[in-house]
C-alpha cells in the first residue's frame, strides 16, 4: 500500500543542469545560486556557477549539476547526489 501522504502529494524530482538552474532557482524556495572555483588556474580567474544551495531541514545543502532536487509536495526539499538512486 502506498504511503497516504505520497499519494496526496506526489514527489516531484528535477535534475540540476546548467540549462535549468535558473528555473530551479525560482521553483525551489528558498534557494541560492552556488558558485565554485573556475577550472582556469590563472590567478584572479572568476568563479563559475556550479548549482544551487537548497535548505534541507534548515541546513544549507549543495545541489550541484547532476544532482536531483526532490520536492515532497508539502514544501520540503531534499537533494539526491548524482549517481545515487532511490
Q: Comparing 68 with 8, which gets the higher pLDDT?
A: 68
The whole-number average pLDDT for the span 46-68 is 92
What angle is formed at CA 59 by the lines to CA 58 and CA 65, rounded to 5 degrees? 125
Question: How do the domains of the chain map onto residue ranges?
Answer: 4-37+45-80
Residues 54 and 27: beta-carbon distance below 8 Å:
no
pTM value is 0.79
Note the pLDDT of residue 43.
73
Distance CA 29, CA 56 (A): 11
Amino acid at each position: 500500500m502506498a504511503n497516504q501522504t505520497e499519494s496526496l502529494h506526489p514527489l516531484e524530482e528535477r535534475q540540476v543542469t546548467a540549462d535549468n538552474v535558473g528555473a530551479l532557482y525560482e521553483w525551489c524556495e528558498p534557494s541560492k545560486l552556488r558558485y565554485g572555483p573556475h577550472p582556469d588556474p590563472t590567478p584572479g580567474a572568476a568563479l563559475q556557477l556550479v548549482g544551487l544551495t537548497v535548505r534541507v531541514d534548515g541546513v544549507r545543502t549543495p545541489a550541484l549539476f547532476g544532482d536531483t532536487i526532490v520536492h515532497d509536495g508539502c514544501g520540503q526539499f531534499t537533494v539526491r547526489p548524482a549517481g545515487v538512486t532511490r
